[in-house]
Amino acid sequence: MQFNINNLIRENVKAMKPYSSARDEYVSDGSKMLFLDANENPFYNGVNRYPDPQQRNLKQVISEQKNISPSQLLLGNGSDEVLDLLFRAFCEPKKDNVLTLPPTYGMYTVLANLNEVEERKTELLPNFQPNVKAILDKATPNSKLLFICSPNNPTGNLISSESIKNLLINFNGLVVIDEAYIDFSNQESWISELDNYPNLIVTQTLSKAYGLAGIRLGLCFASAEIIAVLNKIKPPYNVNELTQQKALERVLDTKSVENEIASILAERTVLIAALKNIAFVETIYLSEANFILAKVDNATKRYNQLLDQGIVIRNRTTQVLCENTLRFTIGTPEENKLLIHALKSL
């Protein structure tokens, strides 16, 4: 079937005209102008002006690094905003549905509920890979989005390229690959496949490897057609000035980011080795992310014991396929030492 994005866009979104802000209507070419168009306070303090609604400087740098056109990139207030925009652009409440693959990131469920969109779940197989046939069987003509988290949270593994290709080809909606943890993995991003699959959307974030969870910056990569739809409905000033400045500084400082990732990966190896020697740890799952999922004898008991020692980890025991599992985020070398010491003391 020929892919046509117009078959997936909500009717109200198709009919909408985007809000045109003052900063959209007059784009500065750098020449000295008096800006008396946006009802701002004129006294300079660094942030008295509205931010660039299209984040041109930041997008220019990121799109060069990722080898795409700026028209294939949308930035959001965290990737959570980007994911919400996808629901609002493509999913008709109470009519359309989305496909998810638990155990996975909890926000897909929250956003489906918030937007009154049915979530059709297909559990991963016991090896945490997707059951492609079961997923496609669950799809209906109203299935608009399929969320694939790779590396997956909380399990830590990559989803196999073969399964993803199969889903990209055979699912008639949009395939959203959430790559929040891709910078910790050896695998190349799916961004390089954008030109081959018109229904591919890739999301990334500066919250994990880039160390900027506090500024809220999410990235969405897709065809220019899909990005244009999202641009039409995004709040005009969704990425604030401080965030744009801080993000630009950080993405240009590739050395620091690389060094921190290298440290986290080295500490991941240290923690895995230590967990292997802890008697109550039964399984350590392979991780391509900055956390490790491990199955223990009694997750709630071990979780509480660590809390008593002032260490907060994530108890994932209530998630499907994750009974008695704990998720450990990789900290600094010092924090990792304290965690390992505490684990040995239990």
Ligand X SMILES: *Cc1c(COP(=O)(O)O)cnc(C)c1O
Question: Which CB atom, from 97 or from 104, has the smaller least distance to ligand X?
Answer: 104
CA-nearest of 155, 272, 243, 251 to 209 is: 251
Helix (H) or strand (E) holding 100: strand 97-100
Among 218, 226, 293, 316, which residue interacts with ligand X (rule: CB under 6 A)? 218
- The residue nearest ligand X at its CB is 78
For residue 237, the tally of other CB atoms under 10 A from its CB is 14
Mark 239-268 with x for binding to ligand X (rule: CB under 6 A) and - for no binding.
------------------------------
Helix ranges (DSSP H) in 120-219:
132-138, 161-170
Q: Does the protein bind ligand X through residue 178 (CB under 6 A)?
A: yes
130-149 residues near ligand X, rule: CB under 6 A = 149
Pairing of strands 73-76, 218-221: antiparallel
Interface region with ligand X, contact rule CB under 6 A, candidates 21-29, 77-85, 298-306, 308-316: 77-85
- H/E segment holding residue 327: strand 325-329
| 215 contributes a contact to ligand X by CB under 6 A | no
Q: Does 105 bind ligand X (CB under 6 A)?
A: yes
Q: How far is the CB of 316 from ligand X (least distance, A)?
A: 12
Closest of 164, 183, 163 to residue 260, by C-alpha: 183
Within residues 266-305, the interface with ligand X by CB under 6 A covers none
Pick the closer one to ligand X by CB: 163 or 205.
Answer: 205
User: CA end-to-end span of the chain, whole Å?
Assistant: 58
Report which DSSP code applies to 335: H
Within 10 Å of residue 255's Cβ, how many Cβ atoms?
8
Distance CA 341, CA 326 (A): 17
Of the ranges 49-57, 114-122, 205-213, 329-337, which one interacts with ligand X (CB under 6 A)? 205-213
The residue within the footprint of ligand X, chosen from 52, 80, 84, 267 (CB under 6 A), is 80
Residues that bind ligand X (CB under 6 A): 78-80, 105, 149, 153, 178, 180, 205, 207-208, 213, 218
